[in-house]
């Protein structure tokens, strides 16, 4: 899911929670428990709005999207890839690097 879709889904969840808390408050009355739940739902709504504003500032519309990540497997590479390669800093497979002091 994209960031926009995640934020929209979270808003829908908070809206649903708020609706359910109001139903509970109607059914159970305005006790301390239901008032606390209503306050918690409102804080969630405010926190989500702050998060959406921070995300909008960090990822403005029209900005290029982050490049897709390329997974790198943990399996060893094929040794044929390194046939003509030299180890930097260690010299070549044929002896020390040119100009390197002999050890």
Give the model's pLDDT for residue 23. 93
Give the model's pLDDT for residue 72. 86
Give the model's pLDDT for residue 98. 63
Q: What angle do CA 33, 28, 13 make, to 5 degrees?
A: 65
Contact 28, 34 (CB under 8 A): yes
Give pLDDT < 50 ranges for the chain: none
- What's the whole-model pTM score? 0.54
Measure CA of the first residue to CA of the last residue in the chain; give whole Å: 56
Give the model's pLDDT for residue 26. 92
Count Cβ atoms below 10 Å from residue 101 Cβ, excluding itself. Answer: 6
Distance CA 30, CA 39 (A): 12
Distance CA 95, CA 7 (A): 59
């Amino acid at each position: 899911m994209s960031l926009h879709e995640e934020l929209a889904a979270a808003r829908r969840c908070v809206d649903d929670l708020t609706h359910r808390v109001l139903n509970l408050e109607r059914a159970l009355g305005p006790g301390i428990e239901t008032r606390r739940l209503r306050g918690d739902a409102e804080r969630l709504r405010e926190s989500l709005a702050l998060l959406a504003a921070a995300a909008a500032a960090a990822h403005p519309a029209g900005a290029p999207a982050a490049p897709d990540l390329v997974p790198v497997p943990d399996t060893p590479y094929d040794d044929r890839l390194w046939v003509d390669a030299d180890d930097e800093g260690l010299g070549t497979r044929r002896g020390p690097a040119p100009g390197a002091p002999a050890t």
